[in-house]
Structure formats: C-alpha cells, structure tokens
Amino acid sequence: MAKPSLLLAKSAGLLGFSELVKELHGNPKQLIEQSGLTPELLASPDNFLPAERIAELLERAAQVLDRETFGIELGVKQNPSTLGLVGLTLQQCNTIGEAMYELQNVLHIQSQAGKVVIETSQDYVYANFQALVSYANSERQITDLALSVGYQILKSVSQGKVQLRAAHFKHAAPKSMSLHQQIFQCPLVFNSEVSGVVIDKSVMDQPLTLERNFFKDVINGYVSDINKGMGITVDEQIRILIRQLLPTGRCNLKTVSLTLGIDERTLQRRLKDQDRSFQDILNQERLSLALSYLAGTNMSLTQISSMLGYAELAVFSRNFKKWRGQSPTEYLKEKGVRWKYR
C-alpha cells in the first residue's frame, strides 16, 4: 500500500498536553502555535492533525521545558478512551493477544504517526513501535509517548496482569531513568535497534476480565446515536462525517450514506427536500476548513489540500478560486498572512 502523502493523527493523542506544560511552568499556547497548530485544533479529540506537527510539538515542548521525559509523562495521562472507538474495540477482545493484534491492525484509524509490529519467538512476544514521523531528526518524544500510552492501555485492558520482561528504546538513555523505571517496571535497554516492549508469550492467551458488556453497550450506543442522528438534522450529521472523512481521501456520498445506514438515493432525496445536495455541503465544509487552516496554521498549501481530501494541489486551488474569487495565495496576501511554506 502506498504511503499517504500526509500522515494524520487524531488530536486525542495529545490529551493532557496543555495541563502538563502548565504543570512544568510552560506556555502551551505558544508551543502549539510555534508548531504550526492552534489551540482550537487541539480542543476536540476527533480533529485530524498532520502527524509531523504532533512530532514537532512534542519535541519543542521537551526542548523548551528541558524535559527529555516529556513524551513518557504525557503518555501516563492517557487511557483506552484516548483511542476512541479503537480503544473500545480493544476492550471487546477476548484475550490479551487478541487485543494486541487488534491494535496492530486498526491503529492507523486513529493515528498514522507510527505503526505497531508484533513478532513472536518461542517464549516471548515483541510489540515494537515504528515511528513514521520525526522532527529535527528526532523521533524520541513521539516514540516515548507511543510506548507509554501503549503500556498504559495494555495494563488497562488486562487489569494489570501484563508484566513486561523488557522495554527497548532506539534513543539514548535520559539523564535520569527513574521515571522510565517507575512506569515500565522492567529492565530498560537504550540505544536499541528497535523501540518496543517484551512480554511472556504465555500472557497472550490470558482472558480479558473487563466488563465487556458495558463497553459493548457504549459502542452500540455510539453507532445507534449516529444512525438516529443524536437529535440533529441529516445536514448536521453529514457535516460531522465530512470533517472526519476528508483527510482520509474517502469522503464521498457512498461512504457517508453507508456510515449513516441510509441508502444513497434516500439520503439524496432527504437533502433535496431541504433544497440541499451532498456536493453543496461538501463544498461548504471544505471552504470553511480551508479558511481555518490558511489563517490558523503553518501548514503548506499542499498539506492543506491533502487535509481537504484533494489528490492534487491544482484542484484545490481551482475550487478555492471558484468559491472565493481568488486563489489561496491571493487570499493570504490580502489577509496579510506571511506564508512560510509552499
């Protein structure tokens, strides 16, 4: 499968960022804006962000705060809810092994900042994290965050049953390893060839003992709410889904109708009754997001184009000019925005 032109991750992975920075006497708003993002983009856990910007934000925070363990500390604040429906899916698994393989298979739905690769030997299982983004040639913080989050989630879905045999890190050891030891509670290996954790293979068959019926009800309720519309109009439901689907490149009438559980023709008819069309709503949302990204981030035009679901920058520029009567570059010039990246 071809590598996406722009890797994305939901802002849920930054849960607790501002609070942690404040605890360390830093300025979260300044760090966020210096990394080409806005506090508003981080406000909703379901916003898709460029994964490279997240990596930049984490590295900047670590440098400015002189906190090389920043990623680890942020990961401690996470739980399965950080992964949204992916986390709930893990909690539906019957065994620890099933949950680990499920995470390997579905993580990309939540984050494309890296991937989980599970390997086994006769006695051990190696759950490795491969970062796909970095900043200033460093993937330390994004890796530490991923391993910390991953282990917190593993402990949560197993009710603390999993004990690590070892934790490996590709980067050098921090000045103090006390936090790593406190979190992982196992032998630590730095300057390793891989980043990941090692567990006994026998653990994989252990059943999960969570109240899975509860989480099943949560999932069913979530799906039911979408299908029923949560008391909002079809138009509003479509707008919500469009914003979620645009960065995936799969935002079309067919996907939206399938998600809503409504036949395409029925959906089109409902919109027509409101003097609307799917294309009208799609164009409105694209324009709204484009204006937000242009004025509020340092993303390049190519990145914005990809975030809006366009395969080519030229198509985005042409449509923007049709909507606004000026090109994206002309719009920025008019607003007095200094463009940093082409």
Domain boundaries, the chain: 8-205, 229-335
What beta strand segments (E) does 80-172 contain? Answer: 114-120, 124-131, 166-168
How do the pLDDT tens digits run along the chain, 342 residues long?
A: 334 446 888 888 898 999 999 999 999 999 999 998 888 888 877 777 888 999 999 999 999 999 999 999 999 887 666 666 566 667 667 899 998 998 888 787 788 899 999 999 999 999 999 999 999 999 999 999 999 998 887 887 777 778 899 999 999 999 999 999 999 999 999 999 999 999 999 999 988 765 444 344 444 444 444 444 444 577 877 887 788 778 767 788 987 887 666 889 999 998 998 888 999 999 999 999 999 888 776 678 888 888 898 888 999 999 999 999 999 999 988 877 765 445
0.75 exceeded by pTM: no
Q: With respect to CATH, is domain 229-335 assigned 1.10.10.60?
A: yes
* CA–CA distance, 286 with 307 (Å, rounded to integer): 9
Amino acid at 278: F
- Whether domain 8-205 has CATH 3.30.420: the reply is no
Question: Dihedral of the CA atoms 85, 311, 278, 255 (nearest 10)?
Answer: -40
Q: Which residues of 229-240 are buried (b: 16+ CB within 10 A; e: fewer)?
A: eeeeebeebbbe
CA distances from residue 5 to 51, 71, 199, 245, 246 in whole angstroms, order as listed: 11, 25, 34, 16, 14
